[in-house]
Amino acid sequence: MLELDAMVKHFPFRDSLGRARGAVRAVDGVSLAVPKGSVLAIVGESGCGKSTLGRLALRLIEPDSGSLRFDGEDILALKPAALRSKRREMQLIFQDPFASLDPRMTVEAAITEPLILHKLHRGRQRARVAELLERVGLRPELARRWPHEFSGGQRQRIAIARALASEPRLIIGDEPVSALDVSVQAQVVNLLGDLIRDLGLTFVLISHDLGVVRQIADRVAVMYLGQIVEEAPAEKLFRNPRHPYTRALLAAVPGQGGALKLLEGDIPSPIAPPAGCRFHTRCPYAEAICREVPPPLVQAQEAAGQIHLAACHFQDTLPPATPIREAAADARLARLQSFFIPNREPTA
Amino acid sequence: MSSTAGSTAIETGESPASRALRRFMAHKLAMFGLIIVVIFVVAAPLAPWLAPFDPLETSWSRLRKPPSLTHLFGTDENGRDVLSRVLYGARASLMAGTIAVGGAVLIGVPVGLVAGLGGKWVDIVISRIADAMLSIPFLILAIALAAFLGPALENAMIAIAISASPIFVRLTRGMALEARNTDWVEAARAMGNPPWRIGLVHVLPNIIPPLLVQATLAIAEAIIAEASLSFLGLGQQPPSPSWGSMLNSAQRFIEGAPWLAVFPGLAIFLVVLAFNLVGDGLRDALDPRSQKR
C-alpha cells in the first residue's frame, strides 16, 4: 500500500559564493513496498539516511527523483491542498517527545488540532480526545495540562494519541522509543504493538534498536549510506542475515556474549560514499570486486517463497552466520523486567 | 493503583503564561518599574483633572518662578505651570511610545513571519530591505522621516513606528526560522496544517515572549525618540506641551531657571527607566532557561 521506488534525496551544500560544492547523498536510490497492515522496520546506524527516508515517504521533504505511491495514488503529483488533506491518512511519530509537542498548546489543543484540520468528529471533539487519551493509557483528566508537566513517556503517549487522532492508515515512527528511559521503552513498544494490531495500521518503524525491531516488525530493511543492503522477513533476517553489515549490526547487540568481531571505524561520509560496494571499507570479507562493482540487491536463492534481498557479491559464499543467542537475549530482557517493573509498584 | 500512566503528573495545570506572570511578580525591580509605568499611564489621561493649572495659560505676573507650594515644579518663561505641562506632556510621550511601537509591531511581526516562513527569495528581499533600514541609526532615520512628513505629533509617531519596525522584522524572522526547524512545526506540517496556520497558530504564540520584551524596551526608545523629535521641533507643536519641546525651550534658561529642564528631564528619565526595568523583568520571567521557581 506504501510504495517507494528509486527514491533519491541529496542535500547540496554550497560555498560562500553559492556554488554547489557537493551533496550529502542521504537517500540514494531506495525502493520499498510496505503491504497494508504490516510493519516494516528500517534499521541502520545514525546518518545512514533512515530518517530522511521516513520524511520522504510522507513527502515532508521533496525527493530529487523517484516515485511515491500510497494506495496506488501518486503522492508526488498531489497539489499542496490535496496533499494536506491526504495527510489525514499518514502520520508521523517523532523521536524526541520533548521537541515534538508545541509548548504553547495544551494536550487537548494538540490532539484536537488534526480533528479541526480535517473536520472530524464535529461536535464531539472533546469526547474523542478523551477516547484517544484512554487508548494510549493516559487519564482523560490530563487533557487540560501543558506538555511541560509530563514525563518523556507520557509525552510520547500524547504524541501517539495526536498521530492517531485523524484515524490514519499509515504511521511512520521515527525512533519512537529511542529517547525514552529503558523502563518506559518496553511500555511504549507494547502500546505501539497493540495499536498496530487493533487498528490494523500499516507501520514503518525507523530504529537503530534491533531489540525493538524484533518485537514488532514483520519485515526489516537494513540501510547503509543511503541504500538498502538487505531486506527480509524479520525472523529470517535475524536468523539468517546474508549481508556482512547486517551480521555486524546483529553482533553489536549487547548480551550476545560471544567475542564477535564488531564493526571497525566510522561510517564513511555520505558526501563521497566509497566506490563499488559502499560497505567495503569496513567489511571483513571485502575483495577486489567489492571496491569496484556495486553489488545489486538480489533475491536470495535459498529463501523458499519469501522475498529476501541482499546486496553483497559474496552473499552465497559467506561463512555461516553465528546464530543469535536467543536465550541470552531473553534472559537479559527478563533481567531488565524484573529490575524495572517492581519499581513501578512500590511495595506498600 | 491503576496501570495508566499519568498518575505522576503534577496536579496543578499551570500555563506557561501564568508561570511567567508569577515569576514577574516576584521580580522586585520589575515590579518597581511597573508601578512607575502604571502611575504615568494612569496620570496621563487624567491630566485635565490632576493638573492644578491650564498647561497653556500664560501669565506675565509669574514668569520663571522657582518651585513653590502653588507651583510645585515652578513656572516657565511664559508663566505656565510646569507641573501641569509635565502631566500633559506625559500624554504625548506615552502615546508616542505605545502607538509608535504598536505600529512597529504591526508592521514588523507579519513581515518577519513571512520572511522567516515564506521561503528563500521572499526572505532575501525582506531581509535586505530591513538591513538597509537598520544601517541608518534609529534616531537619524526617524528625524529624516519626520522632517519629510512634516512637523506634527502624528507624523513623529509614524516616523518612529517605521524606524522601529525593522528590529521587529529581524527578531521575528530569526525566531520564525528557528521555529521552522523544530519537530513541533514539522509535526504541524505532517498533520496537514496550511502555511498560514503554522505561522499564526504555532509559530506566533511561541515567539511572543521575546517580542513582548523587545516591545517594552522599544517603548522606552520611542519615548526618547519622541522627546528628541519634539526637542528638534519635529514632534508635538507648541504651545501643546511635550517633554522634548519643554527641554528645548528650557535650554535658553538653564542657568537662571534650571527647574524648567529638570522636571521634564526627570520625567523622561523615570519613564524610560521604568519601561527598561519592566522589559528586563519580563525577559527574566519569560526566559525558559532561567530555572528560578
Residue with cell 498647561: B55
Nearest C-alpha in B relative to A144: B13
Smallest CA–CA distance, residue A189 to chain B, in Å, is 14
Inspect the interface and report whether the beta carbons of B16 and A104 lie closer than 8 Å.
yes
> How confident is the model at residue B20, as a pLDDT?
85
> How confident is the model at residue B21, as a pLDDT?
87
Element (H, E) at B225: helix B204-231
Smallest CA–CA distance, residue A75 to chain B, in Å, is 14
DSSP string across A182-240? HHHHHHHHHHHHHHHHHHT-EEEEEES-HHHHHHH-SEEEEEETTEEEEEEEHHHHHHS
Strands A20-34 and A39-43: unpaired
Inspect the interface and report whether the beta carbons of B189 and A60 lie closer than 8 Å.
yes
User: Which of A87, A150, A157 has its CB closest to that of B190?
Assistant: A87
Per-residue pLDDT band for A239 (boundaries 50, 70, 90) equals confident
> How confident is the model at residue A327, as a pLDDT?
55
Per-residue pLDDT band for A303 (boundaries 50, 70, 90) equals low
CA angle A67/A71/A74 to nearest 5° reads: 35
The residue that leads in pLDDT, A336 or A318, is A318
> How confident is the model at residue B10, as a pLDDT?
42
Tell me the CA end-to-end span of chain B in Å, nearest whole number. Answer: 30
Q: Is B293 helix (H, G, I), strand (E, B) or coil?
A: coil
**Residue A347 clears pLDDT 60, i.e. is over it:** no
Inspect the interface and report whether the beta carbons of A100 and B206 lie closer than 8 Å.
no
Residue range B17-51, pLDDT digits in tens: 888 888 888 889 999 999 999 999 999 999 899 98
Closest-CA residue to B283 (of B196, B184, B211): B211
> How confident is the model at residue A172, as a pLDDT?
96
Closest-CA residue to B165 (of B115, B202, B95): B115
ipTM: 0.84
Mean pLDDT across chain A, nearest whole number? 87
Q: What is the Cα–Cα distance from A312 to A229, expressed in whole angstroms?
A: 8
User: Which of A84, A86, A103 has its CB closest to that of B194?
Assistant: A84
Inspect the interface and report whether the beta carbons of A142 and B6 lie closer than 8 Å.
yes
Question: Any idea what DSSP says for residue A277?
Answer: S
**Residue B6 clears pLDDT 50, i.e. is over it:** no
Q: Which residues is A310 bridged to in the sheet?
A: A230, A298
HEC letters along B22-80? HHHHCCHHHHHHHHHHHHHHHHCCCHHHHCCCCCCCCCHHHCCCCCCCCCCCCECCCCC
Smallest CA–CA distance, residue B171 to chain A, in Å, is 19
Q: Is A168 helix (H, G, I), strand (E, B) or coil?
A: coil
Inspect the interface and report whether the beta carbons of B184 and A85 lie closer than 8 Å.
no
> How confident is the model at residue A256, as a pLDDT?
52
Summarize the confidence of residues B54-81 as an average pLDDT. Answer: 87
Per-residue pLDDT band for A196 (boundaries 50, 70, 90) equals very high
Lowest mean pLDDT among A171-175, A321-325, B83-87, B201-205: A321-325
> How confident is the model at residue A257, as a pLDDT?
46
Q: Is A11 helix (H, G, I), strand (E, B) or coil?
A: strand
DSSP string across B143-189? HHHHHHH-SSHHHHHHHHHHHHHHHHHHHHHHHHHHHHTSHHHHHHH
User: Which of A88, A92, A148 has its CB closest to that of B187?
Assistant: A92
CATH code assigned to B34-39+81-286: 1.10.3720.10
> How confident is the model at residue A329, as a pLDDT?
64
Inspect the interface and report whether the beta carbons of A154 and B6 lie closer than 8 Å.
yes
**Residue A74 clears pLDDT 90, i.e. is over it:** yes
> How confident is the model at residue B238, as a pLDDT?
82
Angle formed by the axes of helices B204-231 and B243-250, to 10°? 30
Q: What is the Cα–Cα distance from A162 to B246, expressed in whole angstroms?
A: 61
Q: How far is CA A214 from the centre of its chain?
A: 12
Residue with cell 536467543: A326
**Residue A259 clears pLDDT 60, i.e. is over it:** no
User: Which of B14, B192, B205 has its CB closest to that of A88?
Assistant: B192
Per-residue pLDDT band for A3 (boundaries 50, 70, 90) equals very high
Residue B14 contacts A, CB cutoff 8 Å? yes
Closest-CA residue to A111 (of A165, A168, A151): A165
Per-residue pLDDT band for A323 (boundaries 50, 70, 90) equals low
Residues 6+ apart with CB under 8 A from A165: A111, A112, A113, A114, A115, A120, A128, A129, A132
Closest-CA residue to B16 (of B237, B212, B193): B212
**Residue A163 clears pLDDT 90, i.e. is over it:** yes
**Residue B162 clears pLDDT 50, i.e. is over it:** yes
Per-residue pLDDT band for A221 (boundaries 50, 70, 90) equals very high
**Residue A295 clears pLDDT 70, i.e. is over it:** yes
Chain B residues inside the 8 Å CB shell of A132: none
User: Which of A91, A118, A142 has its CB closest to that of B9?
Assistant: A142
> How confident is the model at residue B4, as a pLDDT?
44
Per-residue pLDDT band for B65 (boundaries 50, 70, 90) equals confident
Nearest C-alpha in A relative to B194: A84
Chain A residues inside the 8 Å CB shell of B206: 102-104
At A192, list the grid cell: 505501539
Per-residue pLDDT band for A60 (boundaries 50, 70, 90) equals very high
> How confident is the model at residue A35, as a pLDDT?
93
Q: What is the Cα–Cα distance from B146 to A172, expressed in whole angstroms?
A: 57
> How confident is the model at residue A285, as a pLDDT?
87
Per-residue pLDDT band for A346 (boundaries 50, 70, 90) equals very low
Inspect the interface and report whether the beta carbons of B183 and A60 lie closer than 8 Å.
no
**Residue A101 clears pLDDT 50, i.e. is over it:** yes
Q: What is the Cα–Cα distance from B66 to B73, expressed in whole angstroms?
A: 7
Mean pLDDT across chain B, nearest whole number? 89
Q: What is the Cα–Cα distance from A151 to A136, expressed in whole angstroms?
A: 14
Nearest C-alpha in A relative to B10: A149
Inspect the interface and report whether the beta carbons of B6 and A103 lie closer than 8 Å.
no
**Residue B7 clears pLDDT 50, i.e. is over it:** no
**Residue A344 clears pLDDT 80, i.e. is over it:** no
**Residue B112 clears pLDDT 60, i.e. is over it:** yes
Chain A residues inside the 8 Å CB shell of B193: 84, 113, 117
Q: What is the Cα–Cα distance from A247 to A245, expressed in whole angstroms?
A: 5
Residues 6+ apart with CB under 8 A from B251: B261
> How confident is the model at residue A197, as a pLDDT?
93
Smallest CA–CA distance, residue B185 to chain A, in Å, is 8
> How confident is the model at residue A326, as a pLDDT?
59
Inspect the interface and report whether the beta carbons of A104 and B1 lie closer than 8 Å.
no
> How confident is the model at residue B165, as a pLDDT?
96
Beta-carbon neighbour count of residue A34 at 10 Å? 22
| Residues B290, B36 contacting (CB under 8 angstroms) | no
For chain A, list residues whose CB is within 8 angstroms of any CB belonging to chain B: 58, 60, 81, 84-88, 91-92, 94, 96, 99-106, 113-114, 117-118, 134, 137-139, 142, 144-146, 148-151, 153-154, 157, 159, 162, 166, 187, 345
Summarize the confidence of residues A124-132 as an average pLDDT. Answer: 94
